[in-house]
């Protein structure tokens, strides 16, 4: 019996059957191929617009094959934490990483909540160490963490005693339904006390934030005097430490602000993660690490056990480099007006990738193996490669800190983690050294080890680099879901995020860590590599869609046509209808509404032609060495009260002078002009054979998608598109129309 139990796996993978979806997906592919072949044999193919349309449609077909391939064999993992506890004598240490970078865009109270939810994880506290990287070098963030650590001394025991599910106080106290399940007098009293204390904590932080009480930069805070965000020495502070077992019940809490100097490139989040890796290597050196963004709170306090089921499974688990939990968003605006809650992507694409070589690394909510981050291959985990842990080789790879080399030798040499007797505060000096700007010079950090540099979507190449070595990855989706975070709450912040992703991913696509290179020269399996195209192609997709949209406008303005007549037109129309039905079904199947579907459809058109397009252009500038790309941080608007989550204002489109809106407005104006020209018959007389119903329908659909912009043209204040944007767009649109009319394309 005991033996049998020992054989049970810690996790299982179940492949889902989605036959109907496969059928409809394949049918769409069939129609696409039919459309292409119809074009090939039509007499029109040799006009320039038709040629462009053919190229774009070939690309759409390729993209569809990529999507189909990604979705084809979805899988879920089922974890058994109860078995884990029977199997292992002792749970391993886990290091927890949180990154924050800007106390204004990422208010410290958000970081505090994330940290509190981590400190209160249902896991032996002695085994946890939480590291907060502050790229903002903000005394305010540090202050908030110190205050939070005091609160944690009561909060953590309270959560554990009453088995609270959501251990981020802001969220816990704002959700009325969470507080009713226990009615005992004792609970009510403690609950009230905690609520009061949390209120005081947030009040204190708020006051300092708004400078009604200025922060004295003395004592503990003296190190922050004379610092600037981009010019300061390393600051490392141990906030909570279990020294001499004085109080138990809380994990370590360590504040890290790496050195910044104006003439050094800091590599944004990837740089911060590598510093955390080294600092934690010195201070706790856990074999596993969890990394979250500052706004991702723990929603399932047992998540570490779930993830370890996968990483510690004695069979399949050994090949797993990282465990990715979905990103899900709390307080999401109803029906996802800005299409940024990513539900469809996770449900279909990422689950689909989970059935192949594993999901991509999404930058947050991820459990890593330390030795994988240190560059090991799967086969090196069990059989230590000779010479790999020789000191001079390690120094060349990991840099010259003696203490760090010692700890890295443990990791690389496979002798596991060092014992519990490490005291973080003994390592402040060594940690300061490894957090300095110069430390990485000439080492492998960011090139072959750790988080990779070079793209502002550092997560994807970092994950690809692991899979290239033959590692797999897994999703972990326990119930309740593992983490919840903030999705951008506005149009502009959504666009900034999308632009960053598109630009970073385009750089990855053309770089040396591209999926193609991984397939050709590494161990990325064919279908897994192809599914990575879904992600890394965002920028390219924009280029093709913008081209297609322009060709359609051209046809209407110059009175010519790209859509075939007769049968060909019917193929195009059925494709359009069936594609939309298919997307609608995908939404309805997982419980999303029709409004949600439409919002996603139109946002897909809008973001591809604007944010992704600009991202693509900026990636081109970067790749050609003209200018560098910048990581613009997404604003985290916190709704502690949870109240305005669904009010009417939340989902409305607000505009400003940003270039993304110039692109969008130009596209809209061009199509409006094309419509007018077509309807009033103002096409030039020398023009072609007449534009048809195909162009008309496409253009109408586009204008429908762009309806929020159309409203914006007439809106007032922040709901209106600024006059300067309208003027600039009008000039661009006029130039375009003029060019089309002069027929210089043909
Ligand atoms: O110089 C920087 C810039 C950012 N960050 C942190 O990186 C995280 C992600 O930044 P955010 O602005 O929230 O970007 P998102 O678009 O929300 O993040 C997604 O996309 C990023 C890559 O583009 C990934 O790194 C993230 O994990 C992923 O959640 C945040 O915790 C930031 O504090 C830093 O630590 N240093
Ligand atoms: Mn985020």
Tell me how far the alpha carbon of residue 158 lies from the centroid of ligand 2, in angstroms.
29
Burial annotation 549-568 (CB, 10 A radius, 16+ → b, else e): bbbbbbbbbbbbbbbbeeeb
- What pTM did the predictor assign? 0.95
- Distance CA(291)–CA(310), nearest Å, equals 17
Q: Which residues, listed in sequence order, are joined to residue 437 by a DSSP beta bridge?
A: none
pLDDT value of position 218? 87
Helices (H), 318-450: 343-344, 351-354, 370-373, 391-398, 402-412, 428-434
The single residue of 25, 134, 135, 331 carrying the catalytic annotation is: 135
- Distance CA(235)–CA(142), nearest Å, equals 10
Residues 6+ away with beta carbon under 8 Å from 130: 95, 96, 98, 115, 118, 119, 251, 252, 253, 254
Tell me how far the alpha carbon of residue 457 lies from the centroid of ligand 2, in angstroms.
12
Rounded (5°) CA angle 570-572-573: 65
pLDDT value of position 178? 59
Alpha carbon distances (Å) from 418 to 137, 263, 320, 380, 460: 30, 37, 22, 19, 30
Q: Which residues, listed in sequence order, are joined to residue 260 by a DSSP beta bridge?
A: 232
- Distance CA(159)–CA(302), nearest Å, equals 13
Judge contact between 120 and 301, C-beta under 8 A.
Answer: yes
Atom 14 of ligand 1, residue of closest alpha carbon:
634
Reduce the DSSP state of residue 449 to 3 states and report it. Answer: strand
- Distance CA(14)–CA(181), nearest Å, equals 34
Judge contact between 568 and 34, C-beta under 8 A.
Answer: no
What is the mean pLDDT for each group of 10 consecutive residues in the chain (746 residues)?
65 93 96 93 79 96 98 96 89 97 95 98 94 97 97 95 95 75 81 96 92 82 93 96 67 97 95 98 96 97 97 92 92 90 93 96 97 93 72 93 93 69 87 97 96 96 97 96 92 95 97 95 97 97 98 92 86 96 96 97 97 97 92 79 57 94 98 94 70 90 97 94 97 95 67
Q: Ligand nearest 615 Cα, by number?
A: 1
Q: What is the CA radius of gyration of the chain?
A: 27
Burial annotation 199-231 (CB, 10 A radius, 16+ → b, else e): eebbeebeebbeeeeeeeeeeebebbeebeeee
CA torsion 618-620-626-631 (nearest 10°) is 40
Report the first-to-last Cα separation within the chain, whole angstroms: 79
- Distance CA(12)–CA(26), nearest Å, equals 29
The verdict on whether 135 is a catalytic residue reads yes
The domain segmentation of the chain, as residue ranges, is: 19-72+515-628+655-741, 91-327+362-487
- The set of protein residues with a Cβ atom below 6 angstroms from ligand 1 is 99-101, 106, 133, 135, 268-269, 272, 293-294, 363-364, 456-459, 497, 500-501, 504, 631, 633-634
> Locate tokens 């007439």: which residue?
714
Binding-site residues for UDP-alpha-D-glucose: 106, 135
Tell me how far the alpha carbon of residue 268 lies from the centroid of ligand 1, in angstroms.
8
């Amino acid at each position: 019996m005991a033996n049998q139990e020992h054989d049970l796996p810690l996790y299982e993978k179940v492949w889902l059957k989605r036959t109907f979806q496969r059928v409809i997906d394949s049918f769409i592919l069939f129609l696409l191929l039919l459309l292409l072949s119809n074009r090939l044999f039509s007499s029109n193919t040799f006009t320039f617009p038709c040629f462009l349309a053919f190229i774009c449609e070939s690309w759409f077909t390729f993209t569809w094959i990529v999507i189909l391939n990604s979705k084809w064999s979805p899988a879920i993992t089922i974890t058994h934490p109860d078995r884990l506890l029977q199997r292992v004598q002792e749970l391993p240490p886990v290091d927890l990483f949180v990154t924050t970078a800007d106390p204004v865009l990422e208010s410290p109270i958000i970081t505090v909540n994330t940290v509190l939810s981590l400190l209160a994880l249902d896991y032996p506290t002695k085994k946890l160490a939480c590291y907060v990287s502050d790229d903002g070098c903000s005394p305010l963030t540090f202050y908030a963490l110190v205050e939070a650590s005091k609160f944690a001394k009561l909060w953590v025991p309270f959560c554990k005693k009453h088995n609270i599910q959501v251990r981020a106080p802001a969220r816990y106290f704002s959700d009325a339904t969470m507080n009713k399940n226990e009615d005992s007098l004792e609970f009510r009293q403690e609950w009230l006390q905690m609520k009061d204390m949390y209120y005081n904590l947030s009040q204190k932080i708020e006051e300092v934030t708004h400078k009604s009480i200025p922060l004295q930069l003395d004592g503990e805070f003296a190190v922050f005097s004379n610092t600037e965000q981009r010019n300061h020495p390393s600051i490392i502070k141990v906030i909570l430490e279990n020294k001499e077992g004085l109080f138990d019940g809380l994990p370590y809490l360590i504040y890290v602000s790496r050195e910044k100097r104006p003439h050094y490139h800091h590599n944004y989040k990837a740089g911060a993660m590598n510093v955390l890796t080294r600092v934690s290597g010195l201070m706790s050196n856990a074999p596993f690490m969890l990394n979250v963004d500052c706004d991702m709170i723990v929603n399932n306090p047992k998540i570490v056990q779930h993830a370890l089921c996968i990483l510690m499974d004695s069979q399949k688990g050994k090949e797993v480099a990282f465990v990715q939990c979905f990103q899900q968003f709390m307080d999401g605006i109803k029906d996802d007006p800005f299409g940024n809650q990513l539900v469809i992507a996770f449900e279909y694409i990422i689950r689909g990738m989970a059935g192949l070589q594993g999901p991509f690394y999404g930058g947050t909510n991820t459990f890593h193996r330390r030795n994988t981050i240190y560059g090991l291959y799967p086969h090196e985990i069990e059989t230590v490669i000779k010479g790999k842990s020789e000191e001079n080789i390690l120094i060349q790879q990991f840099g010259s800190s003696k203490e760090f080399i010692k700890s890295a030798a443990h990791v690389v040499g496979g002798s596991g983690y060092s014992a519990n007797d490490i005291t973080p505060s003994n390592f402040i000096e060594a940690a300061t050294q490894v957090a300095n700007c110069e430390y990485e010079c000439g080492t492998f950090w960011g090139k072959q080890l750790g988080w990779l540099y070079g793209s502002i979507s550092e997560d994807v190449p970092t994950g690809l680099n692991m899979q290239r070595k033959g590692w797999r990855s897994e999703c972990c989706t326990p119930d309740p879901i593992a983490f919840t975070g903030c999705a951008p709450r506005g149009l502009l912040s959504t666009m900034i995020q999308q632009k960053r992703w598109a630009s970073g991913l385009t750089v990855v696509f053309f770089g040396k860590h591209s999926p193609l290179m991984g397939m050709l020269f590494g161990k990325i399996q064919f279908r897994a590599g192809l599914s990575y195209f879904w992600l890394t192609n965002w920028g390219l997709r924009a280029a093709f869609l913008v081209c297609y949209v322009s060709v359609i406008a051209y046809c209407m303005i110059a009175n010519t046509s790209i859509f075939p007549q007769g049968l060909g037109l019917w193929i195009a129309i059925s494709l359009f209808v069936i594609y939309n039905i298919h997307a609608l079904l995908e939404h309805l199947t997982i419980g999303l509404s029709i409004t949600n579907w439409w919002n996603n459809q139109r946002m897909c058109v809008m973001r591809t032609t604007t944010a992704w397009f600009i991202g693509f252009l900026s990636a081109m500038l970067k790749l050609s060495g003209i200018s560098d790309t910048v990581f613009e941080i997404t604003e985290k608007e916190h709704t502690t009260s949870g109240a305005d989550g669904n009010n009417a204002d939340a989902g409305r489109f607000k505009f400003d002078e940003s270039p993304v809106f110039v692109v969008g407005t130009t596209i809209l104006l061009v199509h409006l002009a094309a419509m007018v020209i077509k309807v009033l018959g103002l096409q030039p007389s020398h023009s072609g054979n007449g534009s048809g119903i195909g162009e008309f329908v496409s253009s109408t659909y586009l204008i429908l998608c762009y309806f929020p912009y159309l409203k914006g043209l007439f809106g007032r204040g922040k709901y209106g598109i600024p006059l300067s944007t309208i003027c600039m767009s009008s000039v661009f649109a006029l130039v375009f129309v003029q060019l089309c009319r002069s027929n210089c394309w043909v």
